[in-house]
Amino acid sequence: MITKLTSSFRLIRFFNSLSSSSSIVFCETLDFGVRKKTSMAEEVAENVKAVPVSEDELYGFKRSEMYSGTLAGSVGPYGRHVFLCYKSHETWLPRVETEGLPQRFAKSFKDRKADFGVETKLTVCGGGESDGDVLIFPEMVRYKAIQDTDVDAFVEDVLVKGKPWTSGVQEELSGSFVFVCAHGSRDKRCGVCGPVLMEKFLQEIGSRGLSEKIVVLPCSHIGGHKYAGNLIVFSPDSAGNVSGHWYGYVTPDDVPAMLDQHIGKGEIIQNLSRGGMRLRPIGEEAEKEDEHKIPNGNSVVVEAREPVDQKGFTGGCCQGANGVSCCQEQAPEPVKKEGSMKLNWLRSMGKEEVLLGAAAVSAIATIAVAYSIYRRSG
């Protein structure tokens, strides 16, 4: 025991005789040894925190909410979609409809929403050198360079009355159009997913030699941030009819199917479908198409209307709860005059019923005349 104690004192004296630099080395080693023994769990936790979670896991295609929502029916049917080309999607405000040309269009749409012949949506798309151009679907028409001072007259003539726009340049569109929501200032999920999808589309389109037939453009918020990537495809079917269809939860892996199945064959990808424009009407409704037709375009698709909630409208420029709705309220039935009601009543009677009624009236008239003669002779 004494020997061990003496050895311990010798060890202490040895360390005390070390130089100052050696003492520092010793302290560092001792400190490292203590941390290693007592703080391993904390050190691992700190290392985990030091590795940032990728944007893809927070906002992109690997986020936990992917495929958790119900896509079907998240977009109601409508008849017409107007896209206003305006600046770059990277410079858009969170509410792009609160400035400049989009603001003018949004206000005009709101003021005239009751006068549109079909339910119409307004969305902003990337412009650049095409600022002020207006694309209208399913008519497949482009109006060039609309100015602020032109907006009200343009909406009145083209969208309300269906007249040619004589104050601007008009051209017909061809091919297919893909609008990808890339409104990053409005929602980070669209800002992360949108540009990646556009890049993938351009790669696949280029490799297939379809650059002259398919146009890909960024667009503003179209509703349903949680469904990002969001996009709308306008493409003609085998009969040449154009209809817009909305998709959600689209990833880069889905792009080839979008090109081959939807655009190539006209087949809807059901598991990614959110809904879209109305189907082409049939029967009597088809005869009314010319009533809502834009010059040099295809007929606007029209269906029997459902009542519109006038308390709070959704959709519009950004298709969100605070957007602008262009739905037409259902007009009340006109008050019928008495004369027309009698005429309709007579028309509703069968031929035999009319003849019987006429015979009865004639008999009554004959009796009345006979009675009158009888009284005179008396």
Q: Collapsing DSSP states into helix, strand and coil, what is residue 5?
A: helix
Tens digits of per-residue pLDDT, 206-263?
A: 999 999 999 999 999 999 999 999 999 999 887 888 989 999 999 999 999 999 999 9
Q: What mean pLDDT is reported for the chain?
A: 74
Residue 296 pLDDT greater than 60, yes or no: no
Contacts of 307 (CB under 8 A, 6+ apart): 330
Task: Quote the pLDDT of residue 166.
Answer: 81
The answer to whether 78 and 118 are in contact (CB under 8 A) is: yes
Nearest-angstrom CA–CA distance, 200 and 205? 8
What would the pLDDT profile of 186-199 be if each residue is shown by its tens digit? Answer: 999 999 999 999 99
Confidence band, pLDDT 50/70/90 cuts, at residue 368:
low
pLDDT at 160: 94
Reply yes or no on whether the pLDDT at 285 is more than 80: no
Can you give the pTM of this predicted structure?
0.64
Check residues 376 and 188 and name the one with the higher pLDDT: 188
Distance of alpha carbon 45 from alpha carbon 64, whole angstroms: 22
- Condensed to tens digits (0 to 9), the pLDDT of residues 299-313 reads 333 333 333 333 322
Burial class (CB in 10 A: 0-12, 13-18, 19+), 74: middle
Q: Which two tokens stand for residue 345?
A: 């009543």
Report, as an integer, the average pLDDT of 269-295: 63
- Cis bond before residue 138 (omega within 30° of 0): yes
Q: Over 50: is that where the pLDDT of 343 sits?
A: no
Helix axes 40-50 and 20-38, enclosed angle (nearest 10): 80
C-alpha to C-alpha distance for 364 and 240, rounded to whole angstroms: 65
The more confidently predicted of residues 266 and 48 is: 266
CA 324 to CA 154: how far, in whole Å? Answer: 17
Closest CA to 127 of 153, 90, 94, 160: 90
The predicted model gives 254-283 an average pLDDT of 85
Q: Calculate Rg over the CA atoms of the chain.
A: 37
What secondary structure does DSSP assign to 260-280, as a single string? IIIIHH----GGGEEEESPPP
Whether 165 and 157 have beta carbons less than 8 Å apart is answered as yes
Q: What is the mean pLDDT of the segment spanning 155-162?
A: 93
Q: Specify the DSSP class assigned to residue 112.
A: H
Helix (H, G, I), strand (E, B), or coil: what is residue 378? coil
Q: How far is CA 200 from CA 37, 91, 216, in A?
A: 50, 22, 10
Determine the pLDDT at residue 264.
Answer: 94
